[in-house]
Structure 1
Amino acid sequence: MEKLKVLIVDDEYLIRNLLRLRIDWEQQGMTIIGEASNAGEALELVDKEKPDIIFTDICMPFMDGIEFSGMVLEKHPDIKIVVVTGHDEFEYARRSLKLGVIDFILKPIRASELLSVTDKVKSKIYEERSRDQEMEKLKEELERNFPFLKEKFLNQWLMGALSMEEIHEKANYFKIPVCFGVGLFQIAVMEISSASAEQTEEQMILLKMKCKNKIEAFYQADSKVIVLLDTRNQIVIISFNQDSDFVSDCELLKANLINAYPCFINIGIGRKHEHIQEVHLGYQEASRALQYKAFVGKNQVVFFEDVIDNKGEQYHSSSDLLQKLQFYISVGSSEGASQIVSSIFDVSFSSVSQFRIAAMDVITECQHAAIEQQIENEFIFDKETLVSILTADNLPELKKTLENYVLSLSGAICSKNQAKEGNLISQVKEYLENNMSDPELGLASTAAAFFVSPGHLGRLMKKEIGQTFVEYVTNLRMKRAETLLKTTDLKGYQVGEKVGIADPHYFSILFKKTIGRSVNEYRSSK
């Protein structure tokens, strides 16, 4: 580490010489860069040499050490000053500590005391420098992460997760130059997809980065427009500029990007809003408009108000009905799913576009159910159904097409579930066959072995076999008991133990109740 620079200030040569020779400064990691006999000389040396430590006498001509220290610390607050004083000046010197002087040393100067003071000062300097270096590293790291922190704030804003106070405070910190609370703003969400089927993930990321850079360049001169990536890796544009035609800008951006790169561009645009706490509403509207790309095709700009069609009755998604629809499809209940579809479309649609909005909600739930149940791809994205919805020109035809799709999917899931349940029952039967000698064998332990609930297993056995779990296990055990009685000389209680019934009396009662004869009667008749 670089040696610390020391300046000695005293009007007496002997004192300066004594300070210089009293200890080995080099060994202390310090070097004396100069001496001064008065404050005037010292101030010149301070500006020239920038010492780390100053040892100064109190009583000097023209300017005393306390006044000198005050001038130095006002200009160079990082310099450490040690006051050299006599016993009769001790109280006077103590007041210098209020100025920021780090310590003082008494005359006559002893080596041990001087070493103690230099150690203290050196530790203080190194501690401060280490802290400063750490602070610089933190500042550099903050500067590197600044774009990511800014984007995180913007995404929290889009999600409606911030209060008005937080929005103002963070927008000011991230230097986002928008006129809050004044005028209208509008939001667009852009989805970019590759025109090449062989595009790698890395190439896709680079493509989105290029598109984002081009959009930022487009709005470079407009400080009232914000461009960012949302959590879905879609490009979001927030415009507070009331003087520009935002929809026309989006159309122009779409054309520029399509011409510049091999990609498809779809843009959803929300309605205009006035208050900054409504940013999340504008974002939701733009995102919802973007969802309809499946109906309008690639390279389209979809405006939320066009989708909603304000001229007639607006369709409002019912999360309750849609959740029920997904549930019925997921469990393979065609009847339940069909009833929910009828409920969803039991409204007076004013136009085909209104129906298509509702149809997309239904298809989305169907896709979720198909993916969840791992159904084949033709059910996840049924091109024929989508084309029918886009081309049909009357509501009954559209509704029939959609109902057929829902019934087809729920039927496929039902068949898959039945096959799965049949396979489970086969495995349970084999398990019971192999473990019937265990007296602890029961519904709960068997269900646990197959990671299903006892209630579900019990209902499934009743449905598939026509017997309760207890009835099936009892019959299984009694059939095995019959076989043992026919083929072995085991006694009755031994047969009971072999089939998992350790109580001879209970075994005898159960055997007679199930077979119709006692154990002895059965054995004597074989």
Structure 2
Amino acid sequence: MPYKVFLVEDEIVAREGIRDNVDWASMGFEFCGDAPDGEMALPEIEANKPHVVITDIKMPFMDGLQLSKIIRTRLPETKIIILSGHDEFHYAQEAVKLGVTEYLLKPVGVNDLHEVLQKIADQLEQERQEKENLQKLKAQIEDNQAALRDQLLLKTVTGSLSSAEAIDQSYQLGIDLLAPLYLILVLKIELNETAEPFDYGAYQQVRHLIAELLGDNSDVFLIRKDLEELVLLIKGHRADTLAQEADFLTALVKQEVAQKTNCRITVGNGKIKKRLGDIPASFT
């Protein structure tokens, strides 16, 4: 995808000269518009969200420095090239304060502008790659955390961890396991007669559906025991409401799975327990 450039220049000859004589496409740019002053440019800049704005510094109504200040606030990642006929220190100093990317003295040659644009194109590409790498890293971290979370919860309900170990690891992973009461539901996934044997996609579909049904409910944890079995660990404060929650989830899961997948669910209810360490007894 090309990077978008917007030009702001009050001198029509200069504006048309830059617009028509720069080979934008060869450097990976798309010329997306121009305007004669900052006031007229601003709404178009906000609508187009260009990667680069080239602006004259001295213009009526709103000059280049005023425009640059607004762009910095509203579109902080946009690169700004200032064109100035003033070789005065205070203009350049103000441009630096505003975070302007480049400051060129007029008249600007096409070759000089090409050189600056190529430099900015390289910078934009590097930033794009860095963002992609950061997103991939975040996704890997999230995947690793999800895997660690699943391992912790499975070890908790099967008794592979002591209560102290489970609580300690849950704090490290940002999971709130503590509650006055706990209840386990064991969900057995069975393929319908019309399903293909060993249809792994169907099992995965059921898991995703149940996860969607639970949403962001922090009192219910979905745990994958194996391909055909899932476990719901439910936290609660009162035995009666905990039992009601379990009954509601059982009915909801059975209904949704039957209606939306090629599977059916058998649910086994555990007994209400008061301690994390007693959960395995409810599970078995």
Length-normalised TM-score, structure 1: 0.39
Could you say which residue in structure 1 is the equivalent of 2:274? 272
Q: Which amino acid aligns with 1:272?
A: K
The residue correspondences of 1:112-511 to structure 2 (distance < 5 A) are: 112-134=111-133, 150-155=149-154, 158=157, 159-160=161-162, 161-164=165-168, 166-167=170-171, 170-171=174-175, 184-188=180-184, 190=186, 202=198, 224-230=219-225, 235-241=230-236, 242=238, 243-244=240-241, 246=243, 269=271, 271-273=273-275, 279=276, 281-287=277-283, 290=284
- Residue aligning to 2:193: none
User: Is the contact made by 2:145 and 2:173 (CA closer than 8 Å) also made in structure 1?
Assistant: no
Contact 1:187 1:236 in 2 (8 A): no
Asked if 1:65 corresponds to 2:69, the answer is: no
User: Which stretch shifts more, 136-145 or 146-155?
Assistant: 136-145
Q: List aligned pairs for 1:506-525, cutoff 5 A.
A: none
2:98 maps to 1:99: yes
SS of the aligned residue for 2:60 comes to coil
Question: Would the aligned equivalents of 1:155 and 1:231 in 2 still touch at CA under 8 Å?
Answer: no
Cα distance change on mapping 1:153 and 1:116 into 2, 3 Å: farther
Amino acid at match of 2:171: I
| CA distance in 1 between partners of 2:110 and 2:212 (Å) | 68
**2:15 matched to 1:16?**
yes
For 1:152 and 1:283, how far apart are their aligned partners in 2? 16
Q: Secondary structure at the match of 2:274?
A: coil
Q: What is the alpha-carbon distance in structure 2 between the residues aligned to residue 239 and residue 43 of structure 1?
A: 54
Corresponding position of 1:52: 51
Matching residue's letter, 2:75? H
Once the two structures are TM-superposed, the CA of residue 46 in structure 1 deviates from its matched residue by 1.4
Matched residue pairs, number? 261
Letter paired with 2:279: Y
Shift of 1:150: 4.8
CA contact (8 A) 1:185 1:238 kept: no
Cα drift, residue 39 of structure 1: 1.1
Aligned mates of 2:64, 2:14 — CA distance in 1: 14
CA distance in 2, matches of 1:193, 1:43: 58
The match for 1:7 is 6
Structure 1 residues 7 and 247, CA, compared in 2 at 3 Å: closer, same or farther?
Answer: closer
Q: Which amino acid aligns with 1:9?
A: V
Per-residue deviation, residues 369-427 of structure 1 (Å, max 9, x unmatched): xxxxxxxxxxxxxxxxxxxxxxxxxxxxxxxxxxxxxxxxxxxxxxxxxxxxxxxxxxx
Contact 2:87 2:105 in 1 (8 A): no
Which protein has the bigger helix share?
A: 1
> Quick check: which one's strand share is greater?
2
Going from structure 1 to structure 2, the CA distance change for 1:90 and 1:20 (only over 3 Å counts) comes to farther
Higher RCO structure, 1 or 2 (CA under 8 Å, sep 6+): 2
What do residues 440-470 of structure 1 show as CA deviations (whole Å, max 9, x unaligned)? xxxxxxxxxxxxxxxxxxxxxxxxxxxxxxx
1:459 is aligned to: none
Shift of 1:117: 0.6
Equivalent residue, structure 2, for 1:42: 41
**1:88-125 Cα shifts (integer Å, max 9, x gaps):** 23442243233232222122323332122101111122
1:42/1:266 CA distance change after superposition, 3 Å: closer
User: Cα 1:146–1:201, aligned 2, differ >3 Å: closer, same or farther?
Assistant: farther
Shift of 1:68: 0.7
**Do the aligned partners of 1:157 and 1:167 also contact (CA within 8 Å) in 2?**
no
Q: In structure 2, what is the equivalent of residue 512 of structure 1?
A: none
Residue 296 (structure 1) aligns with: none
Q: Is the 8 A contact 1:56 1:81 kept in 2?
A: yes
CA deviation vs aligned residue, 1:30-71 (integer Å, no higher than 9, x gap)? 343333221111113313443332111122223221111111
Q: How does 1:23-38 map to 2 (within 5 A)?
A: 23-38=22-37
| Contiguous gaps of at least 5 residues in structure 2 | 191-195
* Equivalent residue number for residue 89 of structure 1: 88
% identical aligned pairs:
25
How big is the shift at 1:216?
8.2
Deviation at 1:78, TM superposition (A): 3.0
Aligned counterpart, 1:396 = none
Tell me: CA distance 1:239–1:57, structure 2 relative to 1, closer, same or farther (3 Å). same
Normalization by structure 2: what TM-score? Answer: 0.66
Stretches of structure 1 lacking an aligned partner (at least 5 in a row):
172-177, 195-199, 274-278, 291-526
Check 1:163–1:267 CA distance in 2 against 1; reply closer, same or farther (3 A cut). Answer: closer
Q: CA deviation at 1:153?
A: 4.6
Question: Residues of 2 paired with 1:188 and 1:209: CA distance?
Answer: 22
State how far apart, in whole Å, the 2-side matches of 1:208 and 1:50 are: 40
Instruction: For residue 154 of structure 1, report the CA deviation from its aligned partner.
Output: 2.5
For residue 81 of structure 1, what is the amino acid of its counterpart? Answer: I
Matched to 2:281, the amino acid is E
Q: How far off its partner does 1:249 sit?
A: 5.7
User: Is the Cα contact below 8 Å between 1:192 and 1:208 reproduced in 2?
Assistant: no
